[in-house]
Amino acid sequence: MDADLGWLALTLVPGIGARTFHRLIQRFGSPDRVFTARRSHLEQVPGLKQGAIDAIGSRALKETAEQELLRLRSLDIRMIQWGTEEYPPFLSNIADPPPLFYVKGTLLQEDERSVAVVGSRQASAYGLNVCKKLCRELAWQGWTVVSGMARGIDSAAHLGALKGGGRTLAVLGSGLDVVYPAENRELSQQIAASGAIISEFPLGTPPEPGNFPVRNRIISGLSLGVVVVEAAAKSGSLITARMALEQGRQVFAVPGPIDRPGVEGTHRLIKEGAKLVERAEDVIEELLPMVAARSPVEAVVRKGSPTSLHPELSEREKKLWELLGMDPVHIDAIARQLEFSVSQTAELLLRLEIRGLVKQLPGTFFTRDFHS
């Protein structure tokens, strides 16, 4: 059996998860040897059930794997096998690394400098804005942002990284041909063009609830640290944080307003020792020594600020844009702080709004537009 086909076929056996797969490889040496092993020898492998043993010996499994391999190639999706040079080193060192995973896009050595950013699907405007700003700054300074492409914080993390001109990786809880949520189809294409979308689930796998805790170990496993932006008291993001701790990763949390629901989980993480994050530098300062100690992969912080992404701005425009943040500010207060007239300030705000850098709210209040 072809080596790729053997690996693929063994992962398609019902009832064989990552741990059982690794037990089989440890026992027999390769998937090919698993398929040629005697039944009596297979029965000695802990955790391998009779149904899985029956499937290993079936002709139908090979035919299914052959069809799957053809579909993968037609969709320009690659398989990356555990133990190969392309397999991410951080991921290979977790307790139960996926035997293989599917990739659409590219994985680069620089992705070793990755930060996972996760949070609530029902995120507030505050959380979304914080997330986009943080990930934009991380990407601007050369860090790859990893998330799960779910609604809310995950999507904001990918969008922020893309706007920062950097790389981002999305780990799915479904097959790569099943975009979930459906409205993220265009986003998935952008991610694949500026990084990669990843899954350990075969093509056609629906986004079932049980898949997401499984994929969370990959999100944290690919990263040096995990930032939780918004999380309720019971949240899947807290599962990712727990997995990160088990994998020896650093955990960070962004605080939220104390009177706002949906931040109980992040505040609990901070109380339990997670590092409080207000800006990208809080993450970078903690993780950069780990990069420098591990690898010579550009352990240099990119100088400047995200405003450098807009060199066409005048000095006055830059000054105004840097003054604004996530909290709405009235035009009169902006004018006073900049020592501009209200009419001058209004003209500058209009210019920035046209460029998608500023957002006007009711009552002539303004914030940065973190969608830009």
Q: What is the pLDDT of residue 334?
A: 92
Mean pLDDT of 188-204: 96
Q: Of 47-51, 207-211, 231-235, 267-271, where does mean pLDDT reach its minimum?
A: 231-235
- Mean pLDDT across the stretch 278-306? 66
Residues 189-213, mean pLDDT to the nearest whole number? 95
Average pLDDT estimate for 275-292: 87
Rounded percentage of the chain residues whose pLDDT exceeds 90: 60
Residue 201's pLDDT is 95
Beta strands 225-228 and 114-118, pairing class: parallel
If 0-12 CB within 10 Å is exposed, 13-18 middle and 19+ buried, where does residue 66 land? middle
Domains and CATH numbers, the chain: 1-74 (1.10.150), 109-294 (3.40.50.450), 310-368 (1.10.10.10)
Residues 285 and 288: their CA atoms lie apart, in Å, by 6
- 181-190 average pLDDT score: 96
**Per-residue pLDDT at 105:** 97
Instruction: Kindly state the average pLDDT of the residues 275-295.
Output: 82
Examine the pLDDT at 150 and tell me if it is beyond 60: yes
Per the prediction, the chain carries an average pLDDT of 88
What's the rounded Cα separation, in Å, for the pair 223 and 174? 20
Q: Is a pLDDT exceeding 80 seen at residue 330?
A: yes
Structure confidence by residue, pLDDT tens digits, 111-133: 999 999 999 999 999 999 999 99
pLDDT of residue 310 exceeding 60, the answer is no
Average pLDDT over residues 211-232: 93
Distance in angstroms (rounded) separating the CA atoms of residues 158 and 166? 10
What pLDDT does residue 360 have? 85
